[in-house]
Structure 1
Amino acid sequence: MHPDAAAVLESLRGDSSQFAARKVTRRLIAEADLVVTMTRAHRDAVLELAPRQLHRTFTLHEVARLVNDCGATTVENLAALRPRLAAHDIPDVPDPIGQSPDFHAMVGRQIANLIPAVLKLRTA
């Protein structure tokens, strides 16, 4: 994990000590109940590898909007409610790499504000 990202996570009372990066593979995607990306470009890259996982692959902002504004409670709801989203209205989480520690902190706060929506989801 990038040192600035680790510092932000720790400042938000998270634990970065067990973080381990993993390469995204078809198998990893296929085995996931939900795939959450930070950007539409990341989501599209996931779907290039595993196009059949569209029903389980969303950006973090999409999940938050579908849960908070559309009432999604399960991953299946996310897929069913996706047509309600206007794609051009959904922002990406900005990439903080190469930016200042303050920018990293801003991105960390943004992610921290969006994560509760993911945690509200339950499996069917």
Structure 2
Amino acid sequence: MSAPRFGILAVCTANICRSPMMEMLLQAQLDDSRYEVASAGVQGWDRKPMDASAAAELERLGHSAEGFRSHPIGSYLVDSADLILTATRTHRSDVLGLSPQALRRSFTLVEFAALSGIVTADSPRELVAQAAQQRSLAPAEIDIGDPYRRGPEVHRAIADQIAEAVATISTRLNALVTADSH
């Protein structure tokens, strides 16, 4: 019997720019037999496609937004996630408003990327737990700006920031499951 997959939830405002990009990049880079990734918005629109400018940036990074549809966040998504990655501190607060017990599983994407590089862990769950204990070591600037209805240069900068953080997190998480399976 295989181990249950580790669930990751990406969260932003409307679930049409930042969190779908986080979701799709994580899905592309993580071992899908070990990880399950979803996204939602705190003011989420239901069943909307990804914003065209954000989708263009995702395509530039080698991935397609085809078939993506937005989802509003709900307590079920929060409660079932092993790790919640938000675009900003405000989104993290919104998640905690739905489920205060999610505190030790909720980080901004930039915050978790920084912490995942400085804590030691033997499993994804342990990485999340140790990152929560070391949260004070995260950099001061941990929010990802909202590119919605902004110019292409803003979308590109945000996409690159997300891609860099996702690469750091994915590398760390994949190394943990590889080590765990030996």
**TM-score bucket of the superposed structures, by smaller chain:** 0.7 to 0.9
> Residues 88 and 69 of structure 1: is their aligned pair in 2 closer, same or farther, counting only changes over 3 Å?
closer
Which one of the candidate residues 119, 131, 135 is aligned to 1:81? 131
1:95 to 131, 134, 146: 146
Q: What do residues 8-60 of structure 1 show as CA deviations (whole Å, max 9, x unaligned)?
A: 00000011002111110001111112111110000110010011111211110
Q: Which has the higher strand share?
A: 2
Please give the alpha-carbon distance, in whole angstroms, between the structure 1 residues aligned to 2:131 and 2:162. 22
Between Structure 1 and Structure 2, which shows a larger proportion of helix residues?
Answer: 1
- Flag structure 1 segments of 5+ consecutive residues without an equivalent: none
The structure showing larger relative contact order (alpha-carbon pairs under 8 Å, at least 6 residues apart) is 1
CA contact (8 A) 1:96 1:104 kept: yes
**Secondary structure of 2:158's aligned partner:** helix
Structure 1 vs Structure 2: percent identity of aligned residues?
34
**Counterparts in 2 of 1:94 and 1:111: CA distance versus 1, 3 Å:** same
Q: CA–CA distance in 1 between the matches of 2:139 and 2:116?
A: 18
CA RMSD of aligned residues (A): 2.0
Choose from 109, 112, 116 the match for 2:163. 112
Shift of the alpha carbon at 1:79? 2.6
User: Structure 2 length as normaliser, TM-score?
Assistant: 0.62
* Offset from partner CA, 1:51-74 (integer Å, 9 cap, x none): 111121111011101111334552
TM-fit CA distance, 1:76: 2.9
Q: How many residues align?
A: 124
